Amino acid sequence: MKNVLLFFAFIGFFSVIKAEELKSPNGNFNLKFEVNNGVPIYQLDYKGKPVVLDSKLGFILKDTADLTDGFTIIKTENSSFDETWEPTWGEESEIRNNYNELAVTLNQDKEDRQLLIRFRLFDDGLGFRYEFPNQNNLIYFVIEEEVTEFAMAGDHKAWWIPGDNDTQEYNYTTSKLSEISSKLEVSITPNESQSPIGGACVQSALMMKSDDGLYINLHEAALIEYACMHLDLDETNMTFTTMLAPDVNGNKGYMQAPRTTPWRTIIVGEEAGDILLSRMTYNLNEPLALEDDSWVKPVKYIGVWWEMITGMSTWSMADVPSVQLGVTDFENAKPTGKHAANTEHVKMYIDFASEHGFDAVLVEGWNVGWEDWFGKSKDYVFDFVTPYPDFDVEGLRDYAKSKGVELMMHHETSGSVRNYERHLDQAFKFMNDNNYNSVKTGYVGDIIPRGESHYGQWMVNHYQYVLEKAADYKIMINAHEAVRPTGIARTYPNLIGNESARGTEYEAFGGNTPDHTTILPFTRLIGGPMDYTPGIFVTDVSQLNPENGSYVRTTIARQLALYVTMYSPLQMAADLPQHYEQFMDAFQFIKDVPVDWSKSLVLEAEPGDYITYARKDKNSENWFVGRTNDEEPRTSKIAFDFLTPGKKYVATIYSDKKDAHFKDNPQAYQIKKYVVTNKSKLSQFCAPGGGYAISIEEVTNSSQTKGLRKL
């Protein structure tokens, strides 16, 4: 009997290959990887606290043996890396990329197939990906599902939106992990554009907080030629498993070795601000691919847009379908009388932009076909070069140029992706010829002709194709209804903006919850900037369209703060020019605030409650502060210790009045000026759905401080 026990102990010892361990550069993180009975498993600790418990790795393949077990380790490689790189635009002028790496090569002995798993451990978390090397027995294969696990160490508090293969346009729900399925079933009422997967499936970036105060974020980086990842939770053991967006046939990925997957990311911090300041997602992307990026410029713009979203104006020139593609018979079509993209109206926007220092004017509804699309004509697709008769392309091009303003193109694909690809060269050449250097693309509706999902591999490949084709023409892309960004802007900075979440437009038809902008920076913005389109001053939408009873859940002070808290190198002043003219003192902050930064700090933050950022202008010594607040009245307390010692500054504070409220009194704001130094402190009231914004200008002349009190 003693010999039998020794034999089984011997076998048990060798069933778990010696664990490979990796520490982060600062030593706070510890990764352990092992093959247990042929199954690859990893776990992650932070300062001795478990972040991810034993979690399996692998793939289920179609029509061949799975890549889930039967593995042995045949090679390991360790390395370290440390660099500092300069982004084309960003929240800071320099980003440090410092990690320790472990590359483990596995052999599936029975099938004689190899799989490499590469781990990179940073001071702010872990990134890992799969790599399929050149080999004889795994060349072409189809992924049925990726089965990467993230076993959580507790029933964490989470901020989430339901898994959906076509949209991220949901309000966020806050709950325990164990409550996701019940909350999703009860609280989510899908509209026409929403089709939640169900169960306990959520989208990344997923933000969580453990009971002992650890902040954890799950996401992905470098989503290239692969399907978008969702997270499916087993609520009995708090383990997430990846769920990839399928193609029209239900397949998750078509692969040919050698290939790599996107990185799976786990960002961890003791403070909420640690998550917001992490640049791991960008660091896991490839360096700049453009030989020349000098033409990629941050943009502050206005646009002919909000008036259409609210129903005040129309995209289409006629209110009935015209005829066939290329035969636009407007003489026989009844004009709407509300077409916004007409020459004289656009000139008014150009004049306003020029007067107030904006870079560009977006114009939607300029091209023929909207009447057909809204009329549900199945024969019509946009050609992206034919304007309505009341939109003078060349005249407006020359007028905008004379005013020092760019025009921003709009391409709504109507989901007809192959049609868009056929027209891309012609459409981008048209843009070059008419002085457009940026385009807002749209993918509203079902993807035709096959009904692919917006987030499957097929569409991910399309978005990347458009981005790279645009770079050939030196065109910047602002993609709406596309897959959420995953740091690709490091490689292709002409991806200057995305929507990929529930933006301001929803305030015109349903509304966003007051805590929405206190969550998005922890979730959607982890992978890149969002074209959130802030700056709405007249929050009662019925003033634009009496038939629309919606309202924007915000105060004016918070709308100003969003230019700081919702980072983007592409920022829109979304309201109508005539509305800004009613509040020119508040509008001054939008005119002053930059869209490119040299340094960013988080002064206060708690997901779902509040965020306070301080950012330094890349082109001056000026600082700007923004605070976004949820539905609870709060007092923000900050110090100005980020300012240069020995210098004086003038702080202009745009804040809520005491009786301000996002619903009942949104336009109650006040503006005060103080002299501040790095020793100053501020205690500032924030109304429900409110916040504040501060511009901080270095004192260079004593006259700047005349009559001002020191804070």
> 337: Cβ–Cβ under 8 A, 6 or more apart, which residues?
none
- DSSP conformation letters of 231-284: EEEETTTTEEEEEEPP-TTS--EEEESSEEPPEEEEEEESSHHHHHT--HHHHT
Phi-psi region for residue 346, left (φ > 0), alpha (ψ -120 to 50) or beta? alpha
The residue among 589, 545, 558, 506 whose CA lies nearest residue 665 is 558
Residue 223 neighbours by CB distance under 10 Å: 26
**Parallel/antiparallel/unpaired status of strands 681-686 and 669-676:** unpaired
Alpha helices in 387-543 (DSSP H): 393-402, 417-433, 457-472
Are 106 and 100 within 8 A, CB to CB?
no
CA atoms lying within 13 Å on the CB side of residue 215: 21
Query: How far, CA to CA in Å, does 379 sit from each of 373, 382, 408, 412, 421?
Result: 9, 10, 27, 16, 17
Query: Quick one: tokens of 229?
Result: 């990842």
Which amino acid appears at position 525 of this protein?
Answer: L
What is the layout of strands, in order, in the sheet containing 709-710? Answer: 597-606, 610-617, 623-629, 691-698, 649-656, 669-676, 709-710
Query: How far, CA to CA in Å, does 6 sit from each of 9, 10, 14, 18, 536?
Result: 5, 6, 13, 19, 74
CA atoms lying within 13 Å on the CB side of residue 460: 25
The C-alpha atoms of residue 178 and residue 41 are separated, in whole angstroms, by 24
Tell me which DSSP letter residue 606 carries. E
**Which is it for the CA torsion 573, 574, 576, 578, positive or negative?**
negative
The C-alpha atoms of residue 626 and residue 561 are separated, in whole angstroms, by 4
Please tell me whether the peptide bond between 449 and the residue prior to it is cis, using omega within 30 degrees of 0.
yes
Query: How far, CA to CA in Å, does 212 sit from each of 155, 237, 271, 596?
Result: 11, 19, 12, 36
Query: How far out from the chain centre does Cα 155 lie?
Result: 26
| H/E stretch holding 20 | strand 20-23
The C-alpha atoms of residue 183 and residue 201 are separated, in whole angstroms, by 12
Residue in the block written with tokens 């596309």: 482
Query: Quick one: tokens of 190?
Result: 């899908």
The residue among 88, 203, 54 whose CA lies nearest residue 502 is 203
> 483: Cβ–Cβ under 8 A, 6 or more apart, which residues?
223, 228, 454, 455, 459, 460, 463, 500
The C-alpha atoms of residue 286 and residue 644 are separated, in whole angstroms, by 35
Residues annotated as part of the active site: 505
**Which is it for the CA torsion 234, 237, 240, 241, positive or negative?**
negative
First CA to last CA distance, the chain: 82
Are 695 and 622 within 8 A, CB to CB?
yes
The residue among 460, 495, 461, 438 whose CA lies nearest residue 282 is 495
The C-alpha atoms of residue 381 and residue 376 are separated, in whole angstroms, by 11
Query: How far, CA to CA in Å, does 585 sit from each of 455, 508, 580?
Result: 43, 25, 9
